Amino acid sequence: MNKPILPKNVAWILKKLNENGFEGYIVGGCVRDAIMGVAPHDWDMTTSATPQEVKSIFSHTVDTGIKHGTVTVVLNSENYEITTYRVEGDYEDCRHPSYVSFTRDLHEDLLRRDFTMNAIAYCESEGYVDIFGGIEDINRRIIRGVGDAAERFREDALRMLRAIRFSVQLDFDIEENTKQALKENAGLIEKISAERIREELTKTITGNAINRLPVLWETGLLKYISPELYDAVKKNSEQLIFQLKGIEKNTAMAYAVFLQYIDIQIAKKLLKNLKFDTKTTRLAEAILNNMDTDIDYTPAAVRKFAAKMGKEALSTLYKVKQAGGNSQGEKALKTLESIMDNGDCISVKDLAISGDDLLGMGIEKGKVVGQILNELFEKVLENPQLNQKEILQKTVGEKYL
C-alpha cells in the first residue's frame, strides 16, 4: 500500500508535537490521496494538543480558526493548519455545530468526519489509523458515510453534494445505504448557501468521471437546487453526458452545456442566484444566447460573429457545438483559429485608421466619425486585406471629402 511521503516541514511539525508529549497525524484528503497514489495538494494535521498548547510549541502561529481548534503554523514561509481533536454539538442549521469541544481521543475526532475515505489518520511511527474501513473502501472505490450516513447528512447537508462531487471526481461508487440516505435527506440542501453549492456543483460538472453525474438527479438532489434544471436534464441525460465528456474543464463552458435545456431567462437567474463572478456569467450567457444559432463557417461570417460575441465567447461556443457532435462547429473553430493567427480585424479598435485620423483628414467632429468607422469596419470584416491605412483613407476621401 502507498504510504504518504511527508514534506520535510510536515514531518518536522508532527515530530515537534510528539517531542512535547502530544499526538500528531495527517488526516483527511491528503491521506486518501496518498493511498490512491496521488500527490496531496494540502496537508491537514490533527493533534491531541489544544490550540493554546500548539501556540506554545511553535514560535510563529496565526489564530485562523481557534474557536474551532485550528491554528496555522508558519514555517519557512509556508502555512500549515493544525486542528485539535474535537467533538461537535448538535447541528442546528444543517451546516454548523452548536458548539465544539476538544478531546484527547483521536477516535472521537474521526467519528465526526463525513466519509470513511476521509476518516483515516497517519503518522510515520504508527502508520494508518483506520477505524471505519476507509482504506478498504478506497481500494474498492466506494464512498461510504461514517457511521449513520443520514445523521452525517443532517449534520451538514453540503456533504450530500460533496458525496456526488467525490464520485464524479474520483470515479467512485456511492455505497447503497449512503445513497439512500442522500435521497431521503435531499431537501436539506436548500439550507446551504448559494456560494457553497456553486463551489461543489462546479467541481462536480467539471469532474473527470462525468458518466457518474446522473446520480445528481437520480437522488433528487438537483430538484432542490433547480426544479426546472432537474426536469430538463432527466429528459436529456444521455446527450448532456456526451457533451460534458467532450468539452474542456472550463466553468463557463460546462454551465452553458449544463443549462442549455432550460429557458434562457431561468438559466440566467440560476447563474445569478449561484453568485457567479461577472466574467463567468457573461461568458456563459453569451454562449446560451447563441446555442441555437446556425453555424456559418466561412471566414467573413466567423469574423462578423467574433465581432458580435468576442473571440473568447465565440471560441467557447464553437467548442460546445463541436462537443455535441456538430461538424460545422469544428470547421468554424478552425476558421476562427486561422483568423486569430492572421490577426484579422474583428473590432473597430483593430482598424488601421482611427477617429483622430479622420479628424485630421477634415471630417467634422461628431457622430459621423463613428458612423464612418463602423462603415469601414463592415468592409474590413468582409475583406481583411482592406485594413491598410492608405486604402481606408482613400475610401473615406472618395465618399466623404
- Digit-coded pLDDT (tens) for 73-83: 999 999 999 99
- Cα(401)–Cα(399) distance, rounded to whole angstroms? 6
- Cα(211)–Cα(162) distance, rounded to whole angstroms? 17
113: amino acid identity, one letter: R
> What pLDDT score does 400 carry?
81
- Cα(109)–Cα(88) distance, rounded to whole angstroms? 9
CA 129, 131, 137, 142 torsion: positive or negative? negative
pLDDT exceeds cutoff 70 at 25: yes
Asked whether residue 340 is domain-assigned, the answer is: no
Length of the chain in terms of residues written: 401
Question: 41: which residues sit within 8 A by CB, 6+ positions away?
Answer: 30, 33
- Cα(36)–Cα(27) distance, rounded to whole angstroms? 14
Asked whether residue 68 is domain-assigned, the answer is: yes
Q: What is the mean pLDDT of residues 29-45?
A: 94
- Cα(347)–Cα(261) distance, rounded to whole angstroms? 32
Read off the CATH number of the domain in which 77 is found.
3.30.460.10
> What pLDDT score does 327 carry?
85
Global confidence as pTM: 0.88
pLDDT exceeds cutoff 90 at 90: no
Domain end: 109, 125, 140, which one?
140
Domain end: 140, 170, 198, which one?
140
Q: Bridge partners of 46?
A: 25, 83
Q: What is the mean pLDDT of residues 373-384?
A: 95
Q: What is the mean pLDDT of residues 339-351?
A: 94
Asked whether residue 55 is domain-assigned, the answer is: yes
**Which residue is associated with the grid cell 502508520?**
127
> What pLDDT score does 2 carry?
75
Q: What is the mean pLDDT of residues 315-342?
A: 91
C-alpha cell at 270: 440560476
Asked whether residue 32 is domain-assigned, the answer is: yes
> What pLDDT score does 389 carry?
95
Asked whether residue 234 is domain-assigned, the answer is: no
pLDDT exceeds cutoff 90 at 224: yes
| Alpha carbon 192 to its chain's center | 17
pLDDT exceeds cutoff 90 at 399: no
* Conformational region of residue 335, where left means phi above 0, alpha means psi within -120 to 50, and beta covers everything else: alpha
> What pLDDT score does 94 carry?
66
- Looking at the structure of the chain, the number of domains it has is 2
pLDDT exceeds cutoff 90 at 22: yes
- Cα(256)–Cα(265) distance, rounded to whole angstroms? 13
Asked whether residue 115 is domain-assigned, the answer is: yes
- Cα(111)–Cα(151) distance, rounded to whole angstroms? 12
Q: Bridge partners of 25?
A: 46
* Contact in structure between 337 and 299 (CB atoms under 8 Å): no
Asked whether residue 63 is domain-assigned, the answer is: yes
- Which DSSP helix (H) or strand (E) runs through 354? none
> What pLDDT score does 339 carry?
95
Mapped onto helix, strand or coil, the DSSP state of residue 10 is: helix
> What pLDDT score does 388 carry?
96
- Cα(10)–Cα(383) distance, rounded to whole angstroms? 62
Q: Which of 38-42, 54-58, 312-316 has the highest mean pLDDT?
A: 54-58
DSSP state of 27: E
By residue range, what is the domain housing residue 94? Answer: 1-140
Mean of the per-residue pLDDT values for the chain? Answer: 94
Q: What is the mean pLDDT of residues 267-293?
A: 92
pLDDT exceeds cutoff 80 at 92: no
> What pLDDT score does 101 carry?
87
- Digit-coded pLDDT (tens) for 101-144: 899 999 999 999 999 999 999 999 999 999 999 999 999 999 99
71 CB neighbour count, 10 Å cutoff: 25
- Cα(163)–Cα(208) distance, rounded to whole angstroms? 15
Asked whether residue 213 is domain-assigned, the answer is: no
pLDDT exceeds cutoff 80 at 97: no
* Conformational region of residue 156, where left means phi above 0, alpha means psi within -120 to 50, and beta covers everything else: beta
% pLDDT > 70, the chain: 97
Angle between helices 367-382 and 389-400 (to 10 degrees): 130
> What pLDDT score does 95 carry?
64
Between residues 242 and 67, the one the model is more confident about? 242
pLDDT exceeds cutoff 90 at 341: yes
> What pLDDT score does 167 carry?
98
* Contact in structure between 242 and 200 (CB atoms under 8 Å): no
Domain end: 88, 122, 140, which one?
140
Q: What is the mean pLDDT of residues 209-222?
A: 97
pLDDT exceeds cutoff 70 at 100: yes
pLDDT exceeds cutoff 80 at 264: yes
Closest CA to 222 of 182, 276, 249: 182
- Which DSSP helix (H) or strand (E) runs through 100? strand 100-102
C-alpha cell at 112: 465526526
